[in-house]
Amino acid sequence: MNSYIVQYYDEIKAGNIIVGHELMLQLDKVILEVKDPIYQAVHKIKIDFEESEKHINFIQTKCKHFEAPYAGKPFILELFQKAFVEAIFAIQIYDEELGRYVRKYQDILFLVGRKNGKTPLISAICLSEWFCGPTGLKVLCASNDDTQADLMFQAINAMREESPSLEKVTRKNLKGIFFGNPKQKKKKGKFTCQNKGNIKKLSAKTGAKEGRNIGIGAVDEVFEMEDDSTVMPIRQALSTQDEPLYFELTTEGFTNDGYLDERLKEARKVLKGEKQNERWLIWMYTQDNEQEVWQNEQSWYKSNPGLGKIKKWTFLRRMIEESRDSTSKKAFVLAKDFNVKQNNAQAWLQKKDIENDLPMFDMEDLRGSIAIGAVDLSETGDLTNARALIYNPKTRIKYTISKYFIPQSKLETCSEEDRAKFKQWAKEKHLYICEDNEVNQSDVVAWFVMLFKKYKIRCIYTGYDKWQAKAFVNEMKDYGFDLEKIGQGFDLSNAMNSLEMDLKNNLLNYNQNPIDKYCLENVTAKWNSSGTKRMPIKVQGDATKKIDGAVTMLIAYETLDRYRKEYVDIVSRR
């Protein structure tokens, strides 16, 4: 019988199929296990193509697609999918403890770009083993949340329902999917209620993870997981099985130092031969570097093996074009479509965007303006920033003025380079050096008062973070200022998008303030686990870097967004 692994490998070597270096490392090993009799003899490996063909035939004849545009059509596997299934089921190794040959690969890591059919494929494999495997087999679909765990469970159930022969011998209820059907005539046999096998789902939020005994565990989208608290009980629940199957399927994600980061570090050591794990099939569709994503469309196949057949070229091209000018879209597309991890070593903004060419303005130019205030109050002995943002609805340009504060004690402990910068900025009147060991919040309040008394610039709302803000809030209220509490977490995500676009389009004039520029250069984005929101943090978490000025810009943007209609109405009446 022809091997799909050999066909896949030969097509890659002939240049007809493009894969990345990491998948090639695994294929170089698998091809020896399939083709080399000496390697097989030394490592006690045998190949059973009948076993893999049984699962492939089941998927292609019994399973049907359930989502548009392929709903109702047979699940015909692509060559890369057949090779993957064959690697799981055809390769067997002699188990000394059991005294017989067993399935070699029992842990499977499947990393592939989104919309390449990973969840339907693993769902079909699980369903095929549930029917083709031993009686009493229990399958568990898991993920970080109920919705994602339900996706795989519903995919399995939809395939079951689409097939009359499968639906006839099974049933589904709120607890799961089971063998046996009330309409069934037979009372005995593998496909009756006598078979206590089942398919259920589990999420990180579900209680009672311990005490299970399963044969297959499939964990979807592990990129969201902070730690192994969900996966370890599942792996332990497989420990009584002779031939368990444990799947981890995912794209890259945004959780720094989370479970997937550690898992991928370990996987790459195994692929390079730095660590031994003979039972782990590491099937990763990854790019070799980020640059090729932007320079070579053909390289996209490395992370998207279903491109052109499962995933649309037009979709991916559109995603690339949209992400060229947006860091939020760029980070999402690189992680989810190309498995290129975005980390906190990458600056949020490009220097060319920060260094805009808007003409500098004089404070007199803004006399009598209505403004939005913002403040980032420091911890003891650190930098503090106060800011006023003035928006012109007609030109859409925003003007921002700010004052920085730092205690003398901080200057004495910082590096010589930083000390020289701070002193120069103080000389240029951008920074006020406080004589105390910490910034006096009354000095910050006095700056806002000065704006009104000297320039008639009135802040109708001032955004602040609650950190160490009690004295500031009380004093500001005594002067009649209205304040708005703004969290410095993912609440600033929309503000980051708006500020970025304004900088790119020369719609924010910060008067070339050198400290503003310095702070903007030090910001990177921390994403939430789903990649939908971000918050500002220091590049590489370096405590010596300052981002206070960027934070007040974002607080001002968020405050303006909350009161935009009121602000525009006031400005329009003037």
- Domains parsed from the chain with CATH numbers: 4-155+193-338 (3.40.50.300), 351-573 (3.30.420.240)
3-state helix, strand, coil in the chain (%, to 5): 45, 20, 35
Its pTM stands at 0.82
Residue 344: the pLDDT is: 61
Dist CA 45 CA 62 (whole Å)? 30
Dist CA 423 CA 430 (whole Å)? 10
Region of 540 (left: φ > 0; alpha: ψ -120 to 50; beta: rest) is left
Rounded (10°) angle between helices 514-521 and 416-427: 140
Amino acid symbol at 163? S
DSSP states of 422-473:
HHHHHHTTSEEEESSSS--HHHHHHHHHHHHHHH--EEEEEEE-STT-HHHH
Amino acid symbol at 78? E
Dist CA 75 CA 65 (whole Å)? 6
List per-block mean pLDDT (blocks of 10 residues) for the chain, which spans 574 residues: 92 97 97 96 96 97 86 93 98 95 97 95 97 94 86 94 92 93 80 92 61 86 87 90 95 88 96 95 96 95 96 95 86 93 76 87 94 87 90 94 92 84 93 86 95 96 85 94 92 95 94 95 86 86 84 97 95 85
Nearest C-alpha neighbor of 114 from the set 293, 340, 281: 340
Nearest C-alpha neighbor of 201 from the set 151, 142, 244, 254: 142
Dist CA 538 CA 348 (whole Å)? 10
User: What separation in angstroms does the CA of 91 have from each of 32, 36, 83, 94, 109?
Assistant: 11, 12, 11, 10, 16
Residue 207: the pLDDT is: 47
Cis amide linkage into residue 182, ω under 30° from 0:
no
Amino acid symbol at 254? F
Nearest C-alpha neighbor of 523 from the set 555, 549, 504: 549
